[in-house]
Amino acid sequence: MESILLVAVGLMLVIEGVLPFVAPRLWRDTFRRATELADGQLRFVGLTSMIIGIALIALFK
């Protein structure tokens, strides 16, 4: 179980690192806009991301 968790964390880090590596200006602008969102909007984005992640895990498990 620990190895699966470490692989998942590693994959998450790789995926999150792609955009700053490929398009740093776009990543910076996107991050800047995200910091200007209200708390409720950020929570909605986080919740949506978690639901999609759980759905993908359930679908492919």
Tell me how crowded residue 20 is: count the other CB atoms within 10 A of its CB: 14
pLDDT value at residue 24:
96
Give the pLDDT confidence of 1-44 residue by residue, as tens digits: 788 889 989 999 999 999 999 999 999 999 999 999 999 999 99
For 11-25, give the DSSP string: HHHHHHHHHHHH-HH
So what's the pLDDT on residue 39? 96
* Backbone φ/ψ region at 6: left (φ over 0), alpha (ψ -120 to 50), beta: alpha
Where do the structural domains in the chain lie, given as residue ranges?
2-60
For residue 22, the model assigns a pLDDT of: 96
What span, in angstroms and rounded, lies between the C-alpha atoms of 16 and 34? 15
- Give the pLDDT score at 23: 96
pLDDT for position 1: 74
19 and 26 Cβ atoms separated by less than 8 Å? yes
pTM score > 0.85 for this model? no
